[in-house]
Structure formats: structure tokens, C-alpha cells
Structure 1
Amino acid sequence: MVDASALLVILLLVHVLLGFWIPRYSSFQPPHRFSQKVIINLLIAGIYFVAFTLVMILLRDDDAFAWKAGLLMAIARFLTLILTPNSPKSPTLALLSREAVLIISLVAVWLVCESNIAKLQVSLAKLLTLPVLAVGLAYVTMLRPASALISTILSPWIKEIDKSGSLANAGTLIGYLERLLILTFVLLEQWEAVGFLLTAKSILRFNEIQNAKVRSLSEYVLLGTLLSFSLSIAVGLLVTYILKPH
């Protein structure tokens, strides 16, 4: 039998292969009736049941638990397909929701199989330390709280900006990624990477700065970029100070 860590990796591999490589019902002509959709989703859930049951039978000598594990994964797959369909407005949220439910179910199967629930509780207790919580809070702050602060600071100039031709919510996502990357680089003390990121963004905006018609937009983007960088660096330095032994 494989060890516990290898079993978890195998279960994740099976999930990835089934979830992203086998043809999904959306790849075919979409069913017009709810009953057709239910039948197709039941077939996909059945594939999950067979696959995970066989894996558990082959890797763990416990047939009774194997079919229960397969049944749990099949139910999780069916519910995610029914309750979180692809939405044109928020496909990313739908995808993340489905994967979160399935991975939680998969980890639950692994924990029960390996009797690791007590060990997990001990590990989680050890993780709840000041450094881990400080880093976690810093990353969470770089998302919506930071965006709200930057938007508030830039609000006096928002009416002067022509955003025609911009992708919807692209600026918000760019800001998220930008601040998360900067925070990571600061925590790792990779200041060269911070400089490279600032240079790369400046080059991308060079053509806009050269055009006098969009000078206000360029200045607005520059303000936002400097605020984003300053806030990320400040939070990163604060967390670094907290993590250093005194």
C-alpha cells in the first residue's frame, strides 16, 4: 500500500483528470431540458463513483470504505454540477466554488481513511501563531480593503477619467495581482523583483503617457500604481518587522 501522502496526491490526480480532462457535458450540445441536464450530471457523478471506488479498493484494503468514499465524491460532483452551473457573469466564482467543495470532500475522504483527523487538529493548532496570522492578514488586506482605500483616495479625480475601451473589472484584478506580488516580494526581500514589476508596468503605460489626449488617464493610473506599491511595501515592511525576533 502507498503511504498517506502519496494517497492524497493520487486522489487529487484522479480528481484533476476527471474534472478537467474528461469531456464535460458543456462540451456537447447544451441540454434544453432540466431532466436532460440531471441525467448527464448523474452519468458524470457515476464516473466519479466508479473511479474513486476503484482507487480506494486498489490502494486500501477496505472495500466497505471504498464504496462509501466513491459515493461521497459522486454526490459532491453531482451537487456542484447542479448547484453551481457555469455563469456568464461570474464563471470564476462558479469554478472556484465547485473545486472548493470537491477538494474539501476529497480531503475528508483521505482524513477518514488515514485516521488523521486528530493529527490535523494538532497541526492546525500549531499553525495559529502570530507570524502565520500576520502574513494571512496582510494578504487579505491587499485585496478589497486596499482597493477600497485606493479608490477613496482617487475618488476626487474619477469623474475626469475616460474609461471607454477598458475591460470590465480588469483594473481591479490587476490591482489585486500587483499588490499580492509586491507583498510577496517584500516578504521574501526580493527588492529587485519589485523594481522589475514597477518598470514593466511603466513600459506598458508608455504609449498612453505619450498621448496628450489621455494624459489624465495616465496620471490617474500613475497615482493608483504608486498608491498600490506604497501600500503593499508598507504592509510588507510592517509584517517583516513583526516576524523578526526582538
Structure 2
Amino acid sequence: MVETSALLVILILAHVVLGFWISSHSILQPPFHFSRKVIISLLIAGVYFIVFSLLMVLLRDNDIFAWKAGLLMAVARFLTLILTPSASKSPTLVLLSGQAILVTSLVAVWLISENNAASLQVSLTKLITTPLLAVGLAYISMLRPASAMISTILSPWIKEIDNTGSLANAGTLIGYLERLLILTFVLLEQWEAVGFLLTAKSILRFNEIQNAKVRSISEYVLLGTLLSFSLSIGVGLLVTYILKSQ
């Protein structure tokens, strides 16, 4: 039999191959009737049942648990497919929520098969430490809380900026990624990467500002960038201090 960690990797690999190469969400896109969607979802769930049942039989030699594991993964896959709306305003959220259900089911299969639930609880308890919580809080704060703070600070000048021609919510997503990257670089003490990121953003924004020929836009972009960088670096330095003081 394979090792416990190897089994988990194999199960994840099987899910990735089945979920993203063989049965992607694209095959369930309209136009077709709901009944056809149910049939296709059942067929995909059947493939999940067969594959995961065979894996558990071959890797753990437990026929009774194997079909239960296959059934659990098949039901999880069927639900994620059949409950996925044909037209969603947030396809990213749909994808992530579906994968969360499948990965949770997969980990549950692994834990039960290895009788690792008790040991996992002990390991998770050891992981709940002040440094880890501080890092987690820092990354979470770089999303909505940071965006709200920056938007509030820039709100007096937002009416002076022409947002026509920009992608919907693109600026928000760029801000998220920017702050997460900066925080990561600061925690890793890679200040050269922070400087490179600032330079790269300045170059990408140069043509936009130059073509606009409006001083208010250049000032607004500069304010937003400096606020984003300052907030990320400040939080990163604070977390770094906490980590080093432990």
C-alpha cells in the first residue's frame, strides 16, 4: 500500500484530471434543456464513482469503504454540476465554491480511510498560533478592508475622475493582487521585488496617463498606488515584527 501522504496526492491528482481535463464546466453551458444537463451530470458523477472506488480498492484494499468513498465523490460532483447556474454573475465564486465542496469531500475520504481525524485535530490545534493568525489576518485585511480604506480616502476626488472605458471591477481585482503580492514580498523580505512591482505598475500606467493628458487622473492614480503600497508595506512590517518577537 502507498503512504498516507501519497494517497492524498493521488486522490487530488485524480480529481484534477477528472474535473478540469475530462469534465469541465464548459460542457454544461447552454444551449440545452435541464434534462440533458442532468443526464450529463449523472454520467460525470458515474465516472467519479468508478475512478475513486477503483483507487480505494487498489490503494487500500478495502472493498466496503471503496464504494462508499466513490459514492461520496460522485454525489459531491453531481451536486456541484447540477446546482451550477447556467448564467452566473460571479463565475469565479461558482468555480471556487464547487471546488471547495469537492476538495472537502476528497479530504474527508482520505481522513476516514487513514483514520487520521484525531491526529489531524491535534495538528490543527498546534497550528493555531499567534504568528500564523497574524499572517492570516494580514492577508485577509489586504482584500476588502484595505479596499474600503483606500476608497474612503480617495472618495473626495472620485467625482473628478472619468471612469469610462475601464473594465468593471478590474481596478478592485488589480488592487487585491497588488497588495497580496506586496505583503508576500515584505514578509519574505524581498524588497527588490517590491521595487520591481512598483516600477512595472508605473510603466503600465504611463501610457494611460499620457494619453489622458489630465493632471487629475495622474494624481488620482499616484495617490491610489502610494496608499496601496504604503498600507501593504506597513502591515507587512507589523506582521514581520510579530513573527520575529515570538
| TM bracket (short chain) | over 0.9
Distance in 2 (alpha carbons) for counterparts of 1:216 and 1:137: 34
Q: In the TM superposition, what are the counterparts of 1:100-119 in structure 2 within 5 Å?
A: 100-119=100-119
1:8 and 1:110 in contact (8 A); partners too: yes
Counterpart AA for 1:173: L
Partners of 1:238 and 1:222 lie apart in 2 by 24
For the structure 1 residues 45 and 28, does the alpha-carbon distance in structure 2 shift closer, same or farther, using more than 3 Å as the test?
Answer: closer
Report the 3-state secondary structure (helix = DSSP H, G, I; strand = E; otherwise coil) of the residue aligned with 1:78: helix
Q: How does 1:57-68 map to 2 (within 5 A)?
A: 57-68=57-68
| Cα contact 2:30–2:86 (8 A) shared by 1 | no
Q: Deviations over 1:122-164 (max 9, x none)?
A: 0110010000000000000000000000000000011111111
Q: CA deviation at 1:61?
A: 1.0
Secondary structure at 2:194's aligned position in 1?
A: helix
2-side partners of 1:24 and 1:208: how far apart?
A: 37
Amino acid at match of 1:217: I
Q: What is the alpha-carbon root mean square deviation over aligned residues?
A: 1.5
Tell me which residue corresponds to 1:32. Answer: 32
Q: Give the Cα separation in 1 of the matches to 2:212 and 2:10.
A: 57
CA distance in 1, matches of 2:237, 2:86: 40
In the TM superposition, residue 215 of structure 1 has moved relative to its aligned partner by 2.8
Q: CA deviation at 1:31?
A: 5.5
Determine if contact 2:41/2:82 at 8 Å carries over to the other structure: yes
Question: 1:86–1:94: 8 Å Cα contact kept in structure 2?
Answer: no
* 1:44 and 2:44 correspond: yes
- State the secondary structure of the residue aligned to 2:214: helix
Q: Which amino acid aligns with 1:122?
A: V
Decide whether aligned partners of structure 1 residues 68 and 74 sit closer, same or farther in structure 2, where only a CA change above 3 A counts: same
Q: CA deviation at 1:40?
A: 1.2
Q: Determine the structure 2 residue equivalent to 1:199.
A: 199
Matches within 5 A, 1:1-246: 1-24=1-24, 26-27=26-27, 30=30, 32-211=32-211, 213-245=213-245
Distance 2:196 2:233 in 1: 14
Q: TM-score, normalised by structure 2?
A: 0.96
Distance 2:241 2:29 in 1: 57
Shift of the alpha carbon at 1:86?
A: 4.8
Contact 1:31–1:37 (Cα < 8 Å) also in 2: no
The count of corresponding residues between Structure 1 and Structure 2 is 246
Q: Which digits, 9 at most, give the CA deviation of each residue in 1:72-105, with x for residues without a partner?
A: 0000000111123354411100100110000000
Q: Which runs of 5+ in 2 are unaligned?
A: none
* Secondary structure in 2 matching 1:163: coil
* Contact 2:175/2:228, CA 8 A, preserved across alignment: yes
Does the 8 A contact of 1:86 with 1:95 survive in 2? no
Determine the C-alpha separation between the residues in 1 that align with 2:29 and 2:98.
22
Percent identity, aligned pairs only?
80
Q: Tell me, yes or no, if the aligned pair for 2:150 and 2:227 is still in contact at 8 Å.
A: yes
**Alpha-carbon distance in 1 for matches of 2:190, 2:24:** 42
**Aligned with 2:245: secondary structure?**
coil
The answer (yes or no) to whether the contact 1:25–1:41 under 8 Å persists in 2 is no
Shift of 1:212: 5.4
Letter in 2 for 1:245: S
Counterpart secondary structure, 1:164: coil
Query: Following the alignment from structure 2 to structure 1, what is the Cα–Cα distance between the partners of residues 73 and 102?
Result: 7
- The residue identity in structure 2 corresponding to 1:239 is V
Query: Would the aligned equivalents of 2:23 and 2:44 in 1 still touch at CA under 8 Å?
Result: no
Does the CA-based 8 Å contact 2:25-2:81 persist in structure 1?
A: no
